[in-house]
Structure 1
């Protein structure tokens, strides 16, 4: 066999071997791609996304689309060839597997966490929107979860309202941990609570829950890394009573990043006129009870998904602006926002046509 032919054959066989290896060798990466985008002012699966009763609502037009990201499952093992194609593709992003599923987190655990964050984001969106409208909302600190086998198990329950710790009133969830950790492990701590069932009954009857009881719990030592501290094995959160009913109907979505767009949709439904002026606006961002907009993951994928759907403007958390501005889809304007008030102001400029006044994202932020 001529040397040239033998060399070409050897090279071909080596290439085939490398391709086969690339197909069968798993790599520790996962993939993100643009996910569905849903208009919070419209319907999803034949049902209005926002359903409000007990208060006047107004017709809305245009789009206020929340955006999502698709990710490969926790059990999916990407091979080398798929990783290379993902790196070369413009609309996908290959990231380390641990970025999406840290500390060996299973897909079930990740889905549960995302569902909890999604539920909390809906509550915060309602509070932020009503706060911007000057509509008061009652809030209190609750037991959001009890750790199995912890000292609090059987004594405190999810949904219990925490009024005080050791006689000191609590106003926010962080107060609970601060007051508990003033103790040494093994010492007793006293919680003043309204039992969850009493609170639920009071809400249904539109009255204040006045029945409280004191619960004494012996603290134990934290088992995490770092300085040891006293704990009772609960996580504290915030619950609210709204003056009328606001339901957000959107299944198969998780995480906190739709908070801003839900808040804007609620605000638009409760105010006369159109917040968008009929324009197609999309966006993303977490939101807290005070209306502050926080950063999210996968912003590059979300801008692509929004523009593919028809968006012309994208409300972008200030902390994500630099990353998003590095590769902006054609025809999409990235608008920098820090609060719901910023977003409402930007929408005013968009509907009036004063787009030169918009605070736009740059690669510097």
Structure 2
């Protein structure tokens, strides 16, 4: 009888041990339909930028900041509870419902656009020879209240709107702006090389504003003299535009600044305007961990209309300023709305 009881106890212990091991494996490794966002690296972009006849900058390092994305697992929620710089996001909210290949392709489209815009702005400001050729317009983002939500996707190439073919996003924006309040639209586009079209209409995107709720970027090529190239490696997305433009301009002018490590983020348009990006709080941490002295942050005026479109109803600058105050008090967060804002700050300090 005692032997029988001992055998049962032994089996119970073994079963309990196996259950514990299985739970531990699940807790540590089971993939969830979520992604972990955390501070990435602040990367010196000097080695990525090549300009014929121009030497690399020796004293000042421009850095782009990144957000790290990784597969969420049950343990990730525990990590996020104790680390304020980690957040768990639904995969579809980050990728727009795209698979890995589609998401990476979209990020590459954005990066190529950012590079072309950055080179143009840098050369134009330095008064060097630069020529741009437009080929079409890509979808950058579709807002939640757009009538084209779930109809259009990032990286769709617009062929025409209501039969009108235009090569620049500004032309489409101007055309749409002058259409009646609830005007109907038919958009022809290409997705993965296949011709498609969708129908929709202007609607109220935020109170008091009617539009189609999509943002666009231009597909173009750049020809410069001297020749320039930017090779970003595995980095994707549009948020390095401002910093690439500063690097290109400074290298062309062979100009150094008083700051050794200059970090920042923000999209860049060919007119030099700087646009907002995602994950700015994590980019502040990445910049601070790298020893950056300055962080250029996109700035938009926090109006009621703007704040309604912002994540958590806060602008990039509001989030960056609050994050730096709490976790990176020695990092100077500089608000910029344009390339000139950033350059003027560097020249005056």
Q: TM-score range by the shorter chain?
A: 0.5 to 0.7
Provide the TM-score with structure 2 as the length reference. 0.64
2:296/2:336 contact within 8 Å kept: yes
**Structure 2 spans left out of the alignment, 5+ residues:** 1-19, 139-158, 187-194, 203-216, 300-314
Supply the distance in 2 between the matched residues of 1:221 and 1:59 (Cα, whole angstroms).
47
1:58/1:273 contact within 8 Å kept: no
Q: How many residues align?
A: 264
What is residue 298 of structure 1 aligned with on the other side? 279
1:176/1:236 contact within 8 Å kept: no
What is residue 223 of structure 1 aligned with on the other side? 198
3-state SS of paired residue (1:87): helix
2:237 is the alignment partner of 1:262: no
Q: Deviations over 1:175-232 (max 9, x none)?
A: 47959x99998xxxxxxxxxxxxxxxxxxxxxxxxxxxxxxxxxx98335548xxxxx
What is residue 105 of structure 2 aligned with on the other side? 112
Supply the distance in 2 between the matched residues of 1:26 and 1:39 (Cα, whole angstroms).
32
Supply the distance in 2 between the matched residues of 1:64 and 1:334 (Cα, whole angstroms).
15
1:69 to 67, 77, 92: 67
2:284/2:323 contact within 8 Å kept: no
What is residue 142 of structure 2 aligned with on the other side? none
Moved more, 21-30 or 120-129: 21-30
Distance 1:80-1:347 versus aligned 2 partners, 3 A rule = same
3-state SS of paired residue (1:327): helix
3-state SS of paired residue (1:126): helix
Radius of gyration: which is bigger?
1
What is residue 337 of structure 2 aligned with on the other side? 338
1:27/1:79 contact within 8 Å kept: yes
Q: Kindly state the Cα deviation for residue 269 of structure 1 after the two structures are TM-superposed.
A: 0.7
What is residue 191 of structure 1 aligned with on the other side? none
Supply the distance in 1 between the matched residues of 2:246 and 2:122 (Cα, whole angstroms).
7
Q: Kindly state the Cα deviation for residue 67 of structure 1 after the two structures are TM-superposed.
A: 1.0
What is residue 189 of structure 1 aligned with on the other side? none
Q: Kindly state the Cα deviation for residue 51 of structure 1 after the two structures are TM-superposed.
A: 0.9
Distance 1:56-1:70 versus aligned 2 partners, 3 A rule = closer
Supply the distance in 1 between the matched residues of 2:69 and 2:91 (Cα, whole angstroms).
10
What is residue 35 of structure 1 aligned with on the other side? 40
**Structure 1 spans left out of the alignment, 5+ residues:** 1-15, 42-47, 146-161, 186-219, 228-234, 351-365
Provide the TM-score with structure 1 as the length reference. 0.62
